[in-house]
Structure 1
Amino acid sequence: MDVVYQFEEAARLPLPGDNCAVAIRQLNSGSVIQYESQSIVLDYTVMEGHRFAVKAIAPGEELLSWQLPFGVAVQPILPGHYVINETVLEALSVRKLSFALPPVPNFADQAHPYVLDEENFQPAPASPAYADTRIFMGYRRHEDRGVGTRNYVVLLGTTSQTGSYVKKLAARLQDECKNYPNIDGIVPVAHTEGGTDKPNNVDLLLRTLAGFMVNPNVGAVLLADYGNESVTNEMVEAYARKHGYTIDDVLHKFVSLADSFEEELVKGEALVREWLPTVNAMQRTPESISHLRIGLQCGGSDAFSGVSANPLLGWISEELVRYGGAASLAETDELIGAEPYVLSKVRNVETARKFLELVNRFKERTSWHGTSAEGNPSGGNMYRGLYNIYLKSIGAAMKKDPVTRIDYATEYGELMKDGGYYFMDSPGNDLESIAGQVAAGCNMIFFTTGNGSITNFPYVPTVKVVTTTRRFQLLSNDMDVNAGQYLEGKAMDELGQEVFELAIQIASGQRSVGEKAGHAQVQIWRNWQQNDTSRLETLLHAPVPAGEPIEIQGAEIQGDAAAAATANPIQFTFTRQRDRQSSDNIGLIVPTSLCAGQVAGMITKRLNEQAAGQSALSGFVALAHTEGCGTSGGPAESLFARTMLGYITHPMVEHCLLLEHGCEKTHNDYMRHQMDVHGIDASRLGYASIQLDGGIAKVSEKVEAWFADRLAAAQPAEKVAVGLEGLRIGILSDGTIGEDAGEQLAALTKMIVSAGGLVVVPENSGLLAAAAFRQHLFTASQVHVQPSIAYGEHVRSNGFHIMETPTTHWVETVTGLAATGVELVIALVGSRPMQTHPFVPMLQIASEQSMLPKHQQDIDLILSGDPASWTNQILERSKQVLEHTYTPRLHQQGNIDFQLTRGFLGVSL
């Protein structure tokens, strides 16, 4: 029997003039909706957050929400018809739905281009200021810095190369905080940027790092570099002083790492410990809330973000601005299509013009990469009812109250010097956008979410506002505010006042839910590798490597293992389980996006502390990374999927689980689909969802239970002896390659390949340009040897391979190299040892004795004696690593990093 609903029980109209309603629950096909004087019958099951027509819409007529267009009908749409476009139908096709969807779309994405009418522009007056003020308890800093809501010691990696250093240093200092009640924490700020030559975002990066330093929540800050990166401490300091950043008001130190990793950690610990009494002496004092600077964000948005949660932030922002405080609206691409609303009230024409210039610049940047800013909505957005960028933008813009005017339009990370309502240029990627707001001076973040995004920043408290009561109940341990109360009848003034009081309490030191959970991440707006379209067509149609091994001279044995064993009788003890033979057995958690990364790390840390699976596995590993959310599709998304599949199928992985955040583009169903396409058995993996499984605590329990079940059912592994034919190694280099080293690494390559093993060298390795290496592997006719496999591609056939590498970034190179299936990376280092991989061991070797004085504790093998013996020296140390009698030094010390490249065409959205 068909269910009959009164309209308010089933749906909402954002504004009375709309012709499409939003379903507040799943409404089955045939349901009857009593709307005004008519009975509307639904033609298909309408998902929660999706839309159905409440008025007849003719072909060519606009579809309206908030009385703004988000599309145009391509066929007659009658009341009760499911409103859906081609993009959403495609996105839902990979989901496992239990009901039918319309077979074809009935509307197309379309919105009118916005044109600023400067001739008739009317400046908007400011809202009336309150005569009195409200008080919170904060940390007063220099006048230009403002007042902090927290008091942190921040350990900041100037570039990605020192990210693992600050993370390890912070971990070693955590126990110190319990002795200093006025210090909120000692936190690392590690990011992905500055690790390649001549990045396009240098000015942006310098502005962000300078802003991080002077944020009022910082009591002290240590910046660490190596002194020779593309962005250095010297550059940060010069930028800060030139542009008037009050860094001398902050207890700080610029440190350039020159000695061994352990020695630098010891020195860093001593330095921070000296600071702690001074930072602890800083006290909270009564301060006006005019010193509050709040960043407004939305992530994992749904159709109700613009109905409940975002208008709530608009109410709070308007209230704070009237008290003299400041609010920051961001996410440039998530305002495209909402320009008529955003610019309905602006302080002056210059601000309106600047806003549109920033939007147009954003569109231009995305065009350099073969995509468009309109491609922003993620799979999670569409699943929850945000069909396109116009609908998403209209809802996102509701973080500005209708009565609020835009006072300033600013660059990413540009300091907020006065009270008022700001727009800051940034991508829709939540973490990248938040980093800019923190650099601009925000001392609190308000984050709305429909799906239940768990994102927090390390030293700025984040207040999480969820759109619906049902989702709040599912994620009650990870959310602060239930904006769904508004959908259920609570007045916005009442709800707004309650949340405003909560904001003052959190500003005064009450911990937010995210702070209690200990979850925080950082990502700065990532570098874009192109700044024009000159190479676009070439890159879009670049040939795909064939995947076949590259022929090298001198590898005549061609897989004759017996002959190879005679030539070099070294044997390796591996394990065999099912059809997998490998040097190790690990339990792997693969986060499907950046927002699931830290939770994956928290789970593996607990599993390793509990020694779970100790008899069957060597340990658990999580591959936290920065991708999967807010990035362009096309080649960049394919690159991401290919690399993830490389890890899922890696020979060292015994058990693997995918952990989704729940609202990303590359969710679990997306990855299942990719596995189906590539012929990978998706049923052997585990799957968990932070949002759908009920938050951090519940998903952690689910993941631990899955691994426990797998381990209980596992059969004992068999020990087997293999020769060189069983080796899968990657070789890369950093710095100058001597003739002897090049020759011996070529000999090692031929030896392994001749036996039937695998050797992979990244395209960017100096080895391939070194004459001593080339002349021993390639014939004179092999002048330009092309890559045989793509970045992160799982090797299908053993032999010699060259892997594509879109950047020169060390960690990005190692990340792609390990995904090919190699079980050991041999790194020839020329200047200093480098960050290692989370689970594929990296043997760092050097042929230069000059590296010994400073880096003897970090290097695994100094090649010495007769160069003819070097190959055997490497093989003997490799045997120790593969048989677990020797652990590479920097891996043991925690100098570990993992970072996916975005390729040439990746861009933040």
Structure 2
Amino acid sequence: MSQTYALHEIARLPLPGDNVAVATQRLEAGTRIQDGERTLVLPHTVLEGHRFAVQPIEPGQPLLSWQLPFGIATRPIQPGDYICNESILEALRVRDVDVHLPDVGNFQDRIVPFELDEATFQPAPQVPPYPETRTFLGYRRGPGRGVGTRNYIVLLGTSSRTGSFVKQLEARVKHLAVDYPNIDGIVAVAHTEGGTAPDGRAPNNLELLLRTLAGFMVHPNVGAVLAVDFGVEPVTNERLRHFMEAHGYPLDQVPHHFLSLTGSFQENLARGEAIVAGWLEEVNAARRTPESLAHLKIALQCGGSDAFSGISGNPLASWVAREVIRYGGAANLAETDELIGAEPYVLQKVRDLETARRFLATVERFQARAARHGHSAEGNPSGGNKFRGLYNIVLKSIGAAMKKHPDVRLDGVLEYGEPMPGPGFYFMDSPGNDLESIAGQVASGCNLIFFITGNGSITNFPFVPTIKIVTTTRRYQLLSREMDVNAGAYLDGTPMDELGAQTLELTVEVASGRRTVGELAGHAQVQIWRDWRLDEGSRLEEVLQRQPPVQAGQSLPIRPLAPRPADASVSSIRFTTYRHHEVQAIDQVGLILPTSLCAGQVAQMAAQRLNRRGLGREHHLSRFVALAHTEGCGNSGGTSEELYVRTMLGYLTHPMVRHCLLLEHGCEKTHNDYMRHQMERMGLDPAQVGWASIQLDGGIERVLAKVEAWFAQAIQQAGAPTVGEAGLESLRLGLASMGPVPEAVAQQLARLTRLVVHAGGSVVVPQNAGLLSHLAYLEETLGDHPPVPTLFYGQPMAVPGFHIMETPTEHWVETLTGLGATGVEIMVAYVGEHPVQTHPLVPVLQVTADPAVATRFQEDLDLVLAGDSSSAMDGWPGAILTQVAAVAAGRYAPRLYRLGNVDFQLTRGLLGISL
């Protein structure tokens, strides 16, 4: 029997003039809804957060939420009809929801272009200030730095090349803060940017990257900062220092040190530790003092948004931000592409005409950049957004804009990471990718973050506290250990003024030192707005024409090999192998594969927990590995998404991976259901892997327990593999180089390549390797055959032999990441500048013949190729392969892997951008 409800019991109209309502719970087909004197009957089941009509809507008429149009009806819509477009139906089919869906949509997306009427424009006053002052307990810094809500020592990787170093330094020194009560912690800030320059040019994101790093260094929550580089990157400490001096950043007001790495990894860690230890007393001397709320700068951010973000969560955050502004503080709204379609609301109240013009120009510039890369900025909503009722960018944008209270005016428009000049409400240009956007807001000076989430995102930042506001009571109950505020109480009947007052009290307490749930969990991540490959002069058509030819997975023909005396020892190389089903490999690994950036740190926590337990050792499982990366949330789709999927599936099917579990955050674009469908499309069985969800499984602790239970069962059911022995005929070797490669080295690596391939093994060289620019290497291996790629980036090898893998960028870690997905089980990296990051799954041996590099970094290198005579050089391939065999046999682990200089990063290719 169908149930009958009053409209207000099961739905919300964001504003009275709307012609569609938002269901606050799942409503089954046949449900009767009393709306005044009318009775609506639902012909289809309507999911929580999805919309149904409350008025008749004729074809061509707009559908309204917040009295703003988000689409145009394509067929007659009757009261009670499920509101859906083709995009939402496709998203729900991928999710395999257990409801009967309409066969076709009943509206299409429509963005109404906004025209600024300059002739009638009227500047708006800001919300009136309070006459009294209210205070919190904060850390007063020098002039120009403001007041901190925390007191951290920050270890900053100036570029991507030193990200792994600062993470290891954090692990080494974080315990030092325990005995200093006024130090909140010692934290690493690592990111993916500034380590490579496309085609020798400066990165396109250079200015915003320098602004962000500069803003981090002088942030009021920073008690001291150590910036680390190698000194040879496109973005170095020296370049950062000059930028800060030129732009007036008060660097002299914060204890700081610029450290360039020389010598061994361990020596540098000791140097870093000594610097940090020397700051402890000085940083601990800071004391909290009563400070005006005028010193609060709130970052307004949303992620994992749902249909209620604009009804409960965002209005609650805007209520508190309004109060902070009335006390003289500031608020910062970001995510440019998530305001497309909401321009009429954002520009209802603006300081002046120039601010309105700049806002519209910023949105237009973002759209143009997306178009230049072959994408639409309107494609932002993720699978999680759609599943929770955000059908298109307009609905998402209108809801996101509710972080600006209707009483508050827009005071200014900022570039990404640009410091906020004073009190008031600001908009900052940024992508919709949550972590990339937050980094810019922190660099702008925000000392507190409001993160509003519908699905239950667990995002936090290392040195700025995050208050997480969840939009519904059901989601709060599911994730109570991860969320600070239940905005769903408003949907349940608590007045907004009452809920706002409670949240303002919490805000003051957190600013004064109370730990948020994210801080207590120790979960934090950083990502800066990633470089976009095409500059303003690039044309999409020209880039597409430059795509390299690929020989459909077939190996390249390689020259015959004449035996030499130095090769005699190579034929005797043997190592242990493990066989399961039809797969033979040199190692057996348990892999946790996060489907997005936001699941990465939890995946690492799970791997560490399983390794501590030693699970599976009796079945020859050597270790657990998590491949944390920055993608899956706000990437742009198209070719970059193809790269992502291919690489992920390459690791899922990697020969060394015995058991694999996919871990989703729950609201990302590439969620578990998405990956399940991709596996089926590739002919893979989803039942052979495990699946877990941070949000749907109830938060961090519960999902960690689920992951552990799945691996324990999978290992027990699979049993032990067959142990055997093999030689070079079974070797899958990656061969890469970083920095200059001498001709003699190129010749000997060519011989190594031929030795492995002629024995029946495989060698994969990335297209960007310096080896492939050497005629000596090419002539020795291929003769007259052109060095064309045989594998796309991240494509698994289907046949053994000699392969070249396409590489869209010069980024070292991105190159290793793609190379690992091809199925290679060991990599040899020739280093001509300095040692490089290694790979979390595939061992990387670092080799050099450069005397200067060998002298500086002797302790970090796995092999130094010595001797300048022909007979000595002839022994180099054998020496390398002997070391390779030691790794394959488990007798040797590469030095920098043991020390934790490890990184992993998926490429976006030439056309990927952040949305």
Q: Which residue of 1 aligns with 2:193?
A: 193
Normalization by structure 2: what TM-score?
0.97
What is the SS of the residue equivalent to 2:456? coil
Match of 2:739 among 735, 738, 744: 735
Amino acid at match of 2:521: A
Residue in 1 that maps onto 2:361: 357
Report the CA distance shift for 1:250/1:534 in structure 2 as closer, same or farther (over 3 A): closer
- Aligned partners of 1:191 and 1:709: how far apart in 2? 36
Instruction: Supply the distance in 2 between the matched residues of 1:872 and 1:565 (Cα, whole angstroms).
Output: 9
Q: Could you tell me which residue of structure 2 aligns to residue 560 of structure 1?
A: none
Q: Which residue of 1 aligns with 2:559?
A: 554
- Residue 493 of structure 1, aligned match among 481, 488, 497: 497
**C-alpha deviations, 1:649-676, integer Å up to 9, x for none?**
0111111000000000000000011111
Q: Does 1:302 align with 2:312?
A: no
Aligned pair in 2 of structure 1 residues 119, 77: CA closer, same or farther (>3 Å)?
same
SS at 1:457's partner residue? coil
- The equivalent residue for 2:755 is 751
* Aligned with residue 837 of structure 2, among 829, 835, 838: 835
Pick the aligned partner of 2:573 from 561, 570, 574. 570
Q: Which moved more, 1:296-305 or 1:627-636?
A: 627-636
State the AA in 2 paired with 1:83: I
Amino acid at match of 2:126: A
In the other structure, the counterpart of 1:264 is 268
1:88 correspondence with 2:91: no
Q: 1:317 aligns with which of 298, 321, 325?
A: 321
Whether the aligned pair in 1 keeps the contact of 2:559 and 2:781 (CA below 8 Å) is: yes
- Look up the SS of the partner of 2:636 in the other structure: coil
Q: Is the contact made by 1:367 and 1:533 (CA closer than 8 Å) also made in structure 2?
A: no
Pair 1:433-2:431 in alignment: no
Q: Secondary structure of the residue that 1:94 maps to in structure 2?
A: helix
Q: Distance in 1 between matches of 2:9 and 2:590?
A: 46
Assess, with a 3 A threshold, how the Cα gap between structure 1 residues 543 and 37 changes in structure 2: closer, same or farther: farther
> Residues 506 and 567 from structure 1, CA distance in 2 versus in 1: closer, same or farther, beyond 3 angstroms?
closer
Partners of 2:548 and 2:806 within 8 A in 1: no
Q: Which residue of 1 aligns with 2:206?
A: 202
Structure 2, unpaired ranges of 5+: none
How far is 1:864 from its partner? Answer: 2.5
| 2:593 equivalent in structure 1 | 590
Q: Secondary structure at the match of 2:299?
A: strand
| Equivalent position SS for 2:531 | coil
Residues 548 and 789, structure 2, Cα contact 8 Å, conserved in 1: no
The answer for the alignment partner of 1:873 in structure 2 is: 879
Match of 1:445 in 2: 449
Q: Give secondary structure in 1 for the equivalent of 2:419.
A: coil
Structure 1 unpaired stretches of 5+: 558-563
Shifted more, 629-638 versus 378-387: the winner is 629-638
Instruction: Say what the alpha-carbon RMSD is for the aligned residues.
Output: 1.4
SS of alignment partner, residue 133 of structure 1: coil
- Aligned with 1:793 (options 792, 795, 798): 795
Number of aligned residues: 901
Q: Is the 8 A contact 1:540 1:635 kept in 2?
A: no
* Structure-2 separation of matches of 1:53 and 1:687: 36
CA distance in structure 2 between the partners assigned to 1:532 and 1:88 by the alignment? 33
Cα distance, 1:615 vs. partner? 2.2
One-letter amino acid of the counterpart of residue 191, structure 1: H
Q: Match for residue 48 of structure 2?
A: 48
Matched to 1:64, the amino acid is L
1:678-706 deviation per Cα after TM superposition (whole angstroms, max 9, x unaligned)? 11121110000000000111111111111
Report how far residue 852 of structure 1 moved: 2.4
In the alignment, which of 590, 607, 614 is matched to residue 611 of structure 1?
614
Given that residues 554 and 777 in structure 1 are in contact (C-alpha distance below 8 angstroms), is that contact kept between their aligned partners in structure 2? yes
Distance 1:553 1:712, change over 3 A: closer
Correspondence 1:215-294 to 2 at 5 A: 215-294=219-298
Q: Closer, same or farther in 2 for the Cα pair 1:544/1:503, shift >3 Å? A: farther
Q: Could you tell me how far apart the structure 2 residues matched to 1:851 and 1:803 are?
A: 27
Alignment of 1:414-429 (within 5 A): 414-429=418-433
> Do the aligned partners of residues 800 and 114 (structure 1) sit closer, same or farther apart at CA in structure 2, a change above 3 Å counting?
same
Cα drift, residue 444 of structure 1: 0.3
The equivalent of 2:147 in structure 1 is 147
1:445 Cα deviation from its structure 2 partner: 0.1
State, as a whole percentage, how many aligned pairs show the same letter: 60
- The one-letter amino acid paired with 1:569 is S
Structure 2: distance between partners of 1:64 and 1:567: 73
CA positional deviation for 1:839: 1.5
Please give the alpha-carbon distance, in whole angstroms, between the structure 2 residues aligned to 1:816 and 1:169.
Answer: 27
Is this contact kept in 1: 2:790–2:803, CA < 8 A? Answer: yes
- Contact 2:53/2:78 (<8 A) preserved: yes
Aligned partners of 1:551, 1:151: CA distance in 2, in Å?
57
Distance 1:38 1:902 in 2: 52
- How far apart in 2 are the matches of 1:315 and 1:540? 47
Partner-residue secondary structure (3-state), 1:83: coil
Q: Which amino acid in 2 is paired with 1:765?
A: A
What is the CA-CA distance between 1:539 and the residue it aligns to? 4.3
1:314 positional shift: 1.0
Cα distance in 1 between the residues matched to 2:49 and 2:380: 18
TM-score, structure 1 as length reference: 0.98
| Shift, 1:555, TM fit | 4.3
Q: Distance in 2 between matches of 1:287 and 1:585?
A: 57
The aligned runs of 1:686-725 (5 Å cut-off) are 686-725=690-729
Superposition deviation, residue 253 in structure 1 = 0.4
After superposing the two structures, state which structure 1 stretch, 817-826 or 542-551, moved more.
Answer: 542-551
1:886 aligned partner: 892
1:416 to partner: Cα distance: 1.1
Change (3 A) 1:711 1:551: closer
In structure 1, C-alpha distance between the alignment counterparts of 2:120 and 2:192, rounded to whole Å: 45
**Which residue type is aligned with residue 447 of structure 2?**
N
Which residue pairs with 1:906 in the alignment?
Answer: 912
Contact preservation (8 Å) 1:370, 1:540: no
Query: 1: CA distance between counterparts of 2:560 and 2:122?
Result: 77
Secondary structure (helix, strand or coil) at the match of 2:441 reads helix
- The runs of 4+ residues in structure 1 deviating greater than 6 Å are 564-567
Answer with 709-718 or 726-735: which moved more.
709-718
CA distance in 2, matches of 1:501, 1:832: 51
Secondary structure of the structure 1 residue equivalent to 2:94: coil
1:533 Cα offset (Å): 6.9
Alpha-carbon distance between aligned partners in 1 of 2:75 and 2:783, rounded to the nearest angstrom: 64
**What is the CA-CA distance between 1:853 and the residue it aligns to?**
1.9
Instruction: Report the Cα offset of residue 756 of structure 1.
Output: 2.1
* Matched letter for residue 908 of structure 1: S
Q: Deviations over 1:36-60 (max 9, x none)?
A: 2111111111111010101110000
Cα distance in 2 between the residues matched to 1:195 and 1:105: 46
Aligned-residue offset at 1:556: 7.6
Distance in 2 between residues matched to 1:468 and 1:281, nearest whole Å: 42
2:846 is matched by which residue type in structure 1?
A: Q
Superposition deviation, residue 535 in structure 1: 4.1
Question: Which secondary structure does the structure 2 equivalent of 1:421 belong to?
Answer: strand
In 2: Cα distance, 1:761 partner to 1:258 partner: 29
Amino acid at match of 2:698: G
CA shift, 1:727, in A, is: 0.3
8 A Cα contact 2:551 2:788, kept in partner: no
Q: In the alignment, what sits opposite 2:27?
A: 27
Q: Distance in 2 between matches of 1:668 and 1:431?
A: 21
2-side partners of 1:120 and 1:837: how far apart? 60
User: Cα distance, 1:298 vs. partner?
Assistant: 0.4
Q: Is the 8 A contact 1:555 1:753 kept in 2?
A: no
**In the TM superposition, what whole-angstrom CA distance separates every residue of 1:802-841 from its partner, at most 9, and x where no partner exists?**
1111111111100110011000001011111110000200
The answer to whether the Cα contact below 8 Å between 2:549 and 2:789 also exists between their aligned partners in 1 is no
